[in-house]
Structure 1
Amino acid sequence: MKDLVIKHVKLWRHDNQKLHQTEGFVGAKALVVRRGKPFRVSLKLKERPFNPKTDALVFKFSIGHLFVKRSVTFSKVSPCSRWGACMDPEGPDLQCPSILISTPASAPVGTYSIQLFVFTPSSRKSYHLGNFTLLCNPWCSKDAVFLSFEDQREEYIQNDSGLLYMGTPMSVAARPWSFDQFEPDILEACLSLLQVSPQHLTNPVKDYKSRADPIYISRVVSAMINSEDDRGVLKGKWSGDFTQGVDPSTWTGSGDILTQWAESGFSPVMYGQCWVFAAVMCTVMRVLGIPCRVVTNYNSAHDTNGNLVIEEFYNELGKKLPHSKDSIWNFHVWVECWMTRKDLGSDLNGWQVLDPTPQERSAGVFCCGPAPVRALRDRRIELPYDIPFVYAEVMASVHTVVLREGQVVCSSRDTKRVGSLICTKAVGQPRPENITGDYKHVKSPNSTLRSRRRHNSDDTVSSNSTSQGVSVTLTLEKAPVAGVPITFRVTITNKETVAKEIIEHLNAQAKQYNHSPSDTFWEAESVVKLAPLEVRVVRHQISPVHYEDVVGDDLINLAVVLEDPSNQQRVLACEEFNIESPQLDIEIMKKGAVNRGTQHTAVVSFTNPFSVPVSGVLTIRAAGLKLGEREFRILNLPPGGRVQQPLSFVPKKAGTRMIQARLDLTNRAVVRGYQMVTVNRN
């Protein structure tokens, strides 16, 4: 009898990856499939066909030192609870057998090798057929990351671009971000992140076994995004000189960061801040098949002593003082991942908070989560992981104190400021979605918000405070926009039946989102005379010449202190806000359908709103549009001047794509813009 020889092996890469929703990984080094769903392998035999009575085929699937062997059968496809291999049930071709490989929905994530043993009456041979990368499967109901709705799977797994939200609760600022999960070498970089983790290097066998569990994977990734304890991706830096690396505000996507990290031999990329850490983690989790979204918590508390109280101090003139070890970031960005929690009970399934920004250690390592969002809402702080820390970030109260010569002259407590808004990008839409009600009990939470670029110019924000004799409210009359005076009003109420003469102290300081304010850049003082029980409205404005240097990522802390000389009482009202940067406008020139493989033109425009000429570098990029990254120089654009930059692009992928542009102005703000493009499949 002639021997049984394999002439050729076909892994059906295109067909398998299309069926497994992994066709985006076209440049991957191995076949990419999802667990819990069969994939096809075909053999071309030489000399003679397969004889089921005398021959046997046995597959060996190996990841590290772990392996499983399965004989090829003629039975039905194995259920998604175990490994299996069977002949194509639609009619086996014994000369060119097609075999369906099944993997359990709880198989470890990683890259496997496929070895085939061929047994005949006269011989035993083995063949290495290749490798396949196995990912989690949110399309499989038996997988711990199963997500029921296709639009959510499209958003939280497949979408390779999105929006990160910054600014303040009253003026939500959208920043475009390219997650880049399908760009060349990104899949391999994300898998390398697991391979160089301390868990894998310490005990590879235990690590591979544990990768079946998304809880374990998420904690490893959370720790590996920062470089505090390991060979992680990003080094954090929140102030000072960034010349040794990249200013975090200039990153536009995850691809450059992960590629630089992998190509450097896993040296940390410098530098990251919270939104960069979170966005890169979102990329890694989506690559691994775990649904993930980026979330912003506005007025996020860092409670150093665990008493759920954040103290803030002002002097008697309204200047904010850096006296507290506690802090409130105007916004803080983390991620949520979707998974079941068999360790805690089905009532805590769903979105889980994970925070890769290194703030506090968890079990000795700088990582955070997964903390069930439902547990936070129900204050189940006794559960793992890191629920008390996240709970304080969204629920602490603020105790504001005014000091004069070291003595407290007035104080107030605010229980609504921390966690006043928590939002994420809406499914399928370029706008924020309010998810505050998922974290805390709130009255009728508004599920939709407008980003700053579409903010109504007449929207107002205000804060107020009161004492026994006088009360004060500070109100912005319009959302502040670069190049336009900041207008606000101070409403003063005399609560007594005697006339008063009140001293009004005003103070404005620039601040970064995660720091105490810097020195005062604008201040004013006036005397206000009030009749008994009178309500007086005093209007003020800050001209652009005073604030132009802080347009962009900086925020403004504006405060008013009213001083009553008759009894030395003081009362404070304050507000923090951002000034809307000028926008880059991006317009697709040819109206109508944008088709894959067809050349199109977009025009990026900028109008200088500043009082002086500006120069800078315009950078444009678009994942999936065959655009790469383009840079253009803008020189001495006069006040009111307008510049337009056309560029051509050829979409290579269907679906919703993003063109994003960034203008780095010399000694001034970074100006951004984006445009969503829907690409048809033809």
Structure 2
Amino acid sequence: MEDLRIKYVDLEQSENLESHRTNGFRNTKSLVVRRGAPFKVSVQLEGRPFSPKIDTLRVKVMLGNLYAVMPVTFSKSSSKSSWNAYIDPEEWNPLKPSIYICSPASASVGSYRFQLCVLTQDGQKSSAYGNFILLCNPWCSEDTVYIPFEDQREEYIQSDSGLLFMGSGTNIVARPWSFDQYEPGVLEACLNLLQVSPQQKKNRKMDYLNRNNPVYLSRVVSAMINSEDDRGVLKGNWTGDFKQGVSPSMWTGSGDILRKWNQSGNSPVKYGQCWVFAAVMCTVMRVLGIPCRVITNFNSAHDTNGNLVIEEYYSATGQKLNRTKDSIWNFHVWVECWMTRRDLESGMDGWQVLDPTPQQRSGGVYCCGPAPVKAIKNKRVDLFYDVPFVYASVNADIHTIILGQGQVLGFSKDTERVGSLICTKAVGFPRLQKITGDYKYIKSPTSTLSSRSSSSSGDSTLRRAGSSQGVLVFLTLDKSPIVGEPVSFSVKIMNKQNVAKMLKVHLNAQAKEYNHSPSDTFWENHGVLQLAPMEVKVVRQKIPLAQYEDVVGDNLINLAVVVEDMASQERVLSSEEFNIASPQLIIQVADEKSIMQHSEQTALVTFINPYSYPVSGVLTVAGAGLLQGKVQFRMPPLPPGGRVDQPIAFMPNMVGKKMLQASLWLTNMNATIRGFKMVSVNSV
């Protein structure tokens, strides 16, 4: 009888990528598929046709030193709980049989090898080998990461761009970010991150076995994004000195960071801060097939002693003092991942908080989560992982203390400011979605003097009242501040008593980074005000551009007013922390409704100088799926009010919604101007 041999194996790349929704990974060396769904391989035989009566086909799949062996059957298997392989009788071809290999919906994520054997009745054996990468499958209802809505799967798995929300709750900045999961080298870096983790080094077999569980995977990734305990991706730096690396505000996407880490032999990339850690983690989780989104918590408490109280100290003239280890970050960024929590009681499935920014240890390692959002809302601090830490971030009280000559001159309590706005990018649209109500029960305002954040955009303001027995003070921004214009605000002072009052009014402005106490005062104003019994007066003030433009950049401003009753010595404080919105780059695309794959297009990037002096800098334009790499242009000095238009040629290589983003680094003032444009690319 003639020999029966395998000539070659065709991994049917196009068909498998389409059916497994992994089209974006088309340029990867290995086939990329999702667990719980069959993928097809075609076997070209030679010598003689295959005879099911006397010949056998067998498949062996291997992950590290784990393996499963299965016979190839002639009936479609519906099992999602074990590895199996079958031939569809309707597609039977004895010279080129098509075999479907199906992994369980609980298979481990990783880079697999497989062996395909044909065995004859007389003991002859012929083998062929191949590789495939197996990811989680949010389209499969038996998978623990299953998310039931297609628009959410598109947003939280497949979208390779997004927005990170920063600034302050009254003047939110939407920063474009490219997640880059389909860019060259990114998938490989994400898989390598699992391979160099301490868990893999400690016990390879247990690590491979545990990789079936998104709870385990997410904790490994959360720890590996920072480099505090391991060969992690990013080194954090909040000192302001970034000479040894790249300033966190300069990154525009995850691809550069992950590739740099992988190509350097896993040396940490310098530097990251919270939004960079979170955005890179979002990329890794989406690559692994676990639905993920980036979350911003405005006024995020960092409660070092766990008492759910943050103390803030001010001088008698309104200068904020650095007197405590506790702090309120103007914003803090983490991620949420969607998964079933079989390790917890029922009702804890869905979104889980994970925070890769190294702040405190969890199980001895710098990571945080997954903490169920539902557990945080219901104060289930008995559940793991790290629910108490996240609960404090969104629920701590603020005690504000006015100090003078070692004495407490005034005290107030704010139960509303922390976690005043929690948000993420909306599904399918480049705008903000509020999710504060997922984390906490929102109290309805009981009076017009409520100190709650009202909204987040346009001309909305945050009012925070300071009150004593005799005086009530409001500090209100007249509108969201914009670079190039004065900061206009009003101080409303109410005399609550039936006696006239003579008041000292102290105004103080300090620049601050989002996570630090403010630096020295850069603007102040002091005066005396007389109020008749029960009188209300409004003092209008402006901080001119010339006073703030040299200190702002990416910083925020802490503005405070202290009103002192000269008769009773009572002092009342009201404060506000806000950012001054930078101008935006404007990006226009010619004929944007007919953008085609593999067809050259042109975009125009426009910048108008709003500053009172000339600026120069470097313009960088990038777009995953639109541009190969980045393009840079040097901008010569541009006078105040001057305009520059830079055309950009690009050729899309991927279909779908893509982000074109531009950033202008102003070299003479250490600031970055950004802009983005979403474009829809159609297939040819």
Shorter-chain TM band? over 0.9
| Structure 2 gap ranges (5+) | 446-452
Q: Please state whether the residue corresponding to 1:490 is helix, strand or coil.
A: strand
Report if the CA contact (8 A) 1:57-1:72 is conserved: yes
Instruction: State the AA in 2 paired with 1:589.
Output: A
Q: Distance in 2 between matches of 1:361 and 1:461?
A: 34
Q: Please state whether the residue corresponding to 1:352 is helix, strand or coil.
A: strand
Instruction: State the AA in 1 paired with 2:506.
Output: H
Q: Please state whether the residue corresponding to 1:516 is helix, strand or coil.
A: coil
Q: Which residue of 2 aligns with 1:515?
A: 516
Report if the CA contact (8 A) 2:560-2:574 is conserved: yes
Q: Please state whether the residue corresponding to 1:595 is helix, strand or coil.
A: coil
Change (3 A) 1:206 1:391: same
Q: Which residue of 1 aligns with 2:491?
A: 490
Report if the CA contact (8 A) 2:617-2:668 is conserved: no
- 1:544 is displaced (CA, Å) by 0.2
Q: Which residue of 2 aligns with 1:602?
A: 603
Alignment of 1:349-364 (within 5 A): 349-364=349-364
Per-residue Cα deviation, 1:647-669 (whole angstroms, up to 9, x for no partner): 11111111111011111102322
| Structure 1 gap ranges (5+) | none
Q: Which residue of 1 aligns with 2:278?
A: 278
Q: Which residue of 1 aligns with 2:201?
A: 201
Report if the CA contact (8 A) 2:454-2:462 is conserved: no
Q: Which residue of 2 aligns with 1:462?
A: 463
Per-residue Cα deviation, 1:585-623 (whole angstroms, up to 9, x for no partner): 001123532121221110000000000000111111111
- 1:583 is displaced (CA, Å) by 0.8
- 1:240 is displaced (CA, Å) by 3.1
Report if the CA contact (8 A) 2:592-2:679 is conserved: no
Instruction: State the AA in 2 paired with 1:197.
Output: S
Q: Which residue of 1 aligns with 2:138?
A: 138
Instruction: State the AA in 2 paired with 1:631.
Output: Q
Q: Which residue of 2 aligns with 1:92?
A: 92
Per-residue Cα deviation, 1:171-191 (whole angstroms, up to 9, x for no partner): 111000000000011111000
Change (3 A) 1:68 1:278: same
Q: Which residue of 2 aligns with 1:24?
A: 24
Q: Which residue of 2 aligns with 1:347?
A: 347
Instruction: State the AA in 1 paired with 2:174.
Output: A
Per-residue Cα deviation, 1:236-286 (whole angstroms, up to 9, x for no partner): 001131011000000000000000000000000000000000000000000
Report if the CA contact (8 A) 1:174-1:451 is conserved: no
- 1:322 is displaced (CA, Å) by 0.4
Report if the CA contact (8 A) 1:117-1:124 is conserved: no
Instruction: State the AA in 2 paired with 1:305.
Output: N
Instruction: State the AA in 1 paired with 2:403.
Output: L
- 1:498 is displaced (CA, Å) by 1.6
Q: Distance in 1 between matches of 2:418 and 2:287?
A: 33
Alignment of 1:279-318 (within 5 A): 279-318=279-318
Report if the CA contact (8 A) 2:487-2:542 is conserved: yes
1:644 aligns with 2:645: yes
Report if the CA contact (8 A) 1:3-1:123 is conserved: no
Alignment of 1:33-112 (within 5 A): 33-112=33-112
Q: Which residue of 1 aligns with 2:676?
A: 674
- 1:141 is displaced (CA, Å) by 0.1
Q: Please state whether the residue corresponding to 1:346 is helix, strand or coil.
A: coil
Change (3 A) 1:174 1:677: same
1:531 aligns with 2:532: yes
1:423 aligns with 2:417: no
Instruction: State the AA in 2 paired with 1:505.
Output: H
Q: Distance in 2 between matches of 1:592 and 1:418?
A: 43
Q: Distance in 1 between matches of 2:551 and 2:631?
A: 27
Change (3 A) 1:643 1:142: same
Q: Which residue of 1 aligns with 2:634?
A: 633
Q: Distance in 2 between matches of 1:181 and 1:662?
A: 21
Q: Which residue of 2 aligns with 1:473?
A: 474
Report if the CA contact (8 A) 1:40-1:98 is conserved: yes
- 1:126 is displaced (CA, Å) by 4.4
Change (3 A) 1:444 1:289: farther
Q: Distance in 2 between matches of 1:313 and 1:282?
A: 36
Alignment of 1:190-229 (within 5 A): 190-229=190-229
Report if the CA contact (8 A) 2:117-2:128 is conserved: no
- 1:129 is displaced (CA, Å) by 2.2
Q: Distance in 1 between matches of 2:128 and 2:513?
A: 56
Q: Distance in 2 between matches of 1:152 and 1:450?
A: 28
- 1:170 is displaced (CA, Å) by 1.1
Q: Which residue of 2 aligns with 1:655?
A: 656
RMSD (CA atoms):
1.4
- 1:451 is displaced (CA, Å) by 11
Q: Which residue of 1 aligns with 2:449?
A: none
Report if the CA contact (8 A) 1:153-1:291 is conserved: yes
Q: Distance in 1 between matches of 2:538 and 2:69?
A: 81
Identity among equivalent pairs (%): 62
Instruction: State the AA in 2 paired with 1:370.
Output: P
Report if the CA contact (8 A) 1:171-1:451 is conserved: no
Instruction: State the AA in 1 paired with 2:413.
Output: R
Q: Please state whether the residue corresponding to 1:258 is helix, strand or coil.
A: helix
Q: Distance in 2 between matches of 1:414 and 1:560?
A: 16
Give the TM-score normalised by the residue count of structure 2.
Answer: 0.97
- 1:470 is displaced (CA, Å) by 1.1
Q: Distance in 2 between matches of 1:491 and 1:118?
A: 86
Instruction: State the AA in 1 paired with 2:488.
Output: T
Report if the CA contact (8 A) 1:77-1:100 is conserved: no
Q: Which residue of 1 aligns with 2:177?
A: 177
Q: Which residue of 2 aligns with 1:562?
A: 563
Report if the CA contact (8 A) 1:85-1:100 is conserved: yes
Report if the CA contact (8 A) 1:109-1:212 is conserved: yes
Q: Which residue of 1 aligns with 2:412?
A: 412
Q: Please state whether the residue corresponding to 1:148 is helix, strand or coil.
A: coil
Q: Which residue of 2 aligns with 1:235?
A: 235
- 1:77 is displaced (CA, Å) by 2.4
Q: Distance in 2 between matches of 1:677 and 1:37?
A: 32
Report if the CA contact (8 A) 2:169-2:455 is conserved: no
Report if the CA contact (8 A) 2:91-2:98 is conserved: no
Change (3 A) 1:543 1:103: same
Per-residue Cα deviation, 1:351-377 (whole angstroms, up to 9, x for no partner): 000000000000000000000000000
- 1:379 is displaced (CA, Å) by 0.6
Report if the CA contact (8 A) 1:27-1:185 is conserved: no
Give the TM-score normalised by the residue count of structure 1.
Answer: 0.98
Per-residue Cα deviation, 1:430-454 (whole angstroms, up to 9, x for no partner): 0010000000001479xxx9998xx
Q: Please state whether the residue corresponding to 2:366 is helix, strand or coil.
A: coil
Q: Distance in 2 between matches of 1:394 and 1:53?
A: 67
Change (3 A) 1:48 1:591: closer
Report if the CA contact (8 A) 1:299-1:419 is conserved: yes
Q: Please state whether the residue corresponding to 2:91 is helix, strand or coil.
A: coil
Q: Distance in 2 between matches of 1:489 and 1:411?
A: 22
Q: Distance in 1 between matches of 2:145 and 2:455?
A: 30
1:388 aligns with 2:376: no
- 1:78 is displaced (CA, Å) by 4.0
Q: Distance in 2 between matches of 1:115 and 1:8?
A: 12
Q: Please state whether the residue corresponding to 1:461 is helix, strand or coil.
A: coil
1:540 aligns with 2:537: no
Instruction: State the AA in 1 paired with 2:567.
Output: S
Instruction: State the AA in 2 paired with 1:180.
Output: D
Report if the CA contact (8 A) 1:551-1:581 is conserved: no
Instruction: State the AA in 2 paired with 1:485.
Output: P
Report if the CA contact (8 A) 1:590-1:601 is conserved: no
Q: Please state whether the residue corresponding to 1:592 is helix, strand or coil.
A: helix
Report if the CA contact (8 A) 1:78-1:85 is conserved: no
Q: Distance in 1 between matches of 2:564 and 2:101?
A: 78
Report if the CA contact (8 A) 2:75-2:88 is conserved: no
- 1:429 is displaced (CA, Å) by 0.4
Q: Which residue of 1 aligns with 2:584?
A: 583
Question: Deviating runs (4+, > 4 A) in structure 1?
Answer: 449-452
Alignment of 1:150-165 (within 5 A): 150-165=150-165
Q: Distance in 1 between matches of 2:270 and 2:27?
A: 27
Instruction: State the AA in 1 paired with 2:605.
Output: V
